[in-house]
Structure 1
Amino acid sequence: MTIDATRPAPTGDITVWTKPNCVQCRLVKHRLTQAGVTYTERDITAPEHAADLAHFKSLGYMSAPITEYEDTAFPGFVPAEIDRIAAAWKTAHPAEVNA
């Protein structure tokens, strides 16, 4: 899924949008950690992220987690997609891998 161009430009970081007590969110974060990549976690239910929540809902994403990297985003725990973005992140950040 392509990210809306009206949102802030991607930073080259992986962002995992989570919510409290979310099992799938924990699974995504664990898989990224096991892959050796860094990510930013943001609580999609926090008031300051209301615009982001509205954006994701407009894309049809109705549950957390939502994982973003570069120009893609996907909802849920999808191991193949997580592995794909982890590999892309490692290629883009060789100095940070195993640092």
Structure 2
Amino acid sequence: MTLTIYTKPQGCFGCTKTKELFAKAGIAFTEVDITTNDQALEYISEELGYSQAPVVVYEKDGSEDHWSGLNPSKVQHVIELHNT
């Protein structure tokens, strides 16, 4: 499973909380700062259609899903997928 979290590191409560939830569950992720990475910002806004951070993208067994914003139920779902 791969997990990428596109974040705004300064002042983004949802970003901080999402990272904390995955870290607490022991799930490794790649963090991408959209304030310093123009390609990442373009990807989440133009390709995925999001305008709110964080944007979480995960892939497991060839299946990909993503969402925007703090979403504890989606985080829990990914944690459960990781543990199966």
Alignment of 1:31 with 2:24, yes or no, is no
CA contact (8 A) 1:17 1:67 kept: yes
| Unpaired stretches in structure 2, ≥5 consecutive residues | none
2-structure distance, mates of 1:37, 1:15: 11
Q: Flag as ranges the 4+ runs of structure 1 deviating above 4 A.
A: none
Displacement of 1:45 in angstroms is 1.8
For structure 1, list consecutive stretches of 5 or more residues without a partner in the other structure: 1-11, 92-99
CA distance in structure 1 between the aligned counterparts of 2:14 and 2:50, rounded to whole angstroms: 14
Residue by residue over 1:16-43, the C-alpha shift from the partner in whole angstroms, topping out at 9 and shown as x without a partner, is 1111211110000111112221111111
Q: How many residues align?
A: 78
Q: TM-score, normalised by structure 2?
A: 0.81
Counting aligned pairs with the same residue, the percent is 32
* Aligned residue among 32, 40, 44 for 1:52: 40
- What is the distance in 2 between the residues matched to 1:32 and 1:81? 11
Q: TM-score, normalization: structure 1? A: 0.70
Aligned to 1:14: 3
